[in-house]
Amino acid sequence: MKDFKEEIDKIVPVSHLAEEETIRMMESFATDEPVAKKLRELKLSRAQVRANLGLIAAYQEDVDYCSRCPGLSACQKDTPFHQSDLILNEGRLERTYGPCPLYLRRETVLSSYVYRDFPDEWLSLVPTSLSNSSRVKAVYRLFAEAVRSKSRPWVYLMGEVGSGRSYLTAAFANGYALRGERVAFMNANVRFDELKGDAVKRRPLFEEKLKGLESIPLLVIDDFGSEFKSDYVRDQIVMPLLSERGKRNLLTVFLSDYSLAEIKELYSTSRGSSIMANRLVGLIESKIAEVGRVEKGVENL
């Protein structure tokens, strides 16, 4: 056998450079803990590793890229949102692919939303991804109290544009969605106008949508007070929606530029309508522990 190998080597000389590269690659596999762990799990022999250098190197590159994940929106892999794995199939090493955990988490979150009126970039937010600043803690204290309360499960948050009130609430809503709970994060200006149009032109669809919003476990009304205000919107959409949620004590979050006194004034839309506006604001006041305020800050959220 030795003589035969020597004869072969005379015909096809062994490249010392190729051998050095082989050794270097095998050493890199051994010192790369995630890769080394996978090779140990598969119980690959040194000969099997040598025979599959390219396959293992590609797996190593994929694992390294994912360890420095730039986020789903910036993923530039040949197989975006997927991670590779190595398996033995009848003794043959093969590379397989499956969705990455971040992608699966995003899909879980997306499937939980009935309405999601915030940017795609916020889908990866969860409460634990936020800073531990005092203003973040103050907001999340209100959320925690509302979740625990049986009689005051609503939160009313005020804050200037750019204060981060929607950003913070999106992280809270995503955390809720990850548990498989249904969530509606709706922009008041867009969705109340949409509901008004449905009520006039597509009544059965309107009733179906309103019924869904009345019973959904978490409803976030962003930019509350920015919607077109009329007696009809107040009495046929906003008041029935909030009254039913109030009866059921369902978690509801309002994000607004306006104080409740200003909401009362804004919804006093016609002569004699202040009574209904008072009822609307009184209902909100009866279901919140306090009015929260998100202050602008220089630190990252």
Characterize the bridge pairing of strands 82-89 and 92-99: antiparallel
**How far is Cα 188 from Cα 199, in angstroms, rounded to an integer?**
16
Q: What is the pLDDT of residues 51-98, one digit of tens each?
A: 899 999 999 999 998 888 887 778 888 888 888 899 999 889 999 998
**Can you tell me the distance from the alpha carbon of 112 to that of 180, in angstroms, rounded to the nearest whole number?**
6
Query: Which of these, 177, 185, 282, lies nearest to 224 by C-alpha position?
Result: 185
pLDDT digits (tens, 9 = 90+) for 202-235: 999 999 999 999 999 999 999 999 999 999 999 9
Distance, in Å, from the CA atom of 224 to the CA atom of 209, rounded to the nearest integer, reads: 18
In the chain, % of residues over pLDDT 90: 60
User: What's the pLDDT score for residue 3?
Assistant: 55
pLDDT at 7: 47
Whole-number mean pLDDT of the chain? 88
Residue pair 267/234 in contact (Cβ under 8 Å)? The answer is yes
Position with higher pLDDT, 19 vs 112 = 112
Sorted by sequence, the CB contacts under 8 Å of residue 57 that are 6+ apart come out as 25
- 17 pLDDT band, cuts 50/70/90, is low
Q: How much is the pLDDT for 299?
A: 44
Chain centroid to CA 103: 10
> Packing angle between helix 165-178 and helix 101-112, nearest 10 degrees?
100
Q: What is the pLDDT of residue 12?
A: 42
Question: What's the whole-number mean pLDDT along residues 40-48?
Answer: 91
89-94 contacts at long range (C-beta below 8 A, 24 or more positions apart): 93/42, 93/44, 93/48, 93/52, 93/55, 93/56, 94/55
> Which architecture does CATH list for 105-294?
3-Layer(aba) Sandwich (3.40)
Share of the chain above pLDDT 70, in %: 93
Q: Which two tokens stand for residue 75?
A: 């993923």
- Residue 297 confidence (pLDDT): 64
Give the pLDDT confidence of 92-129 residue by residue, as tens digits.
Answer: 999 999 888 877 877 888 889 999 999 988 988 888 88
Q: Rounded to an integer, what distance in angstroms lies between the CA atom of residue 64 and that of residue 284?
A: 51
Per the structure block, which two tokens stand in for 144?
């925690």
Structural domain boundaries of the chain? 2-99, 105-294
How would you classify the pairing of strands 154-159 and 251-256? parallel
Q: Which of 36, 61, 34, 65 is closest to 49 using CA atoms?
A: 36
Whether 14 shows a pLDDT value over 60: the answer reads: no
Q: Convert the pLDDT of each residue in 182-205 to its tens digit.
A: 999 999 999 999 999 999 999 999
Residues forming a β-bridge with 155? 253
What does the pLDDT read at residue 147? 94
Q: What is the DSSP letter of 237?
A: I
Strand partners, 83: 98
Three-state SS annotation for 150-169: CCCCEEEEEECCCCCHHHHH
Kindly give, in sequence order, each residue whose CB lies less than 8 Å from that of residue 147, ignoring residues fewer than 6 positions away: 153, 251
**pLDDT of amino acid 269:** 85
Which distant-in-sequence residues (6+ apart) come within 8 Å of 269 by Cβ?
229, 230, 231, 234, 277
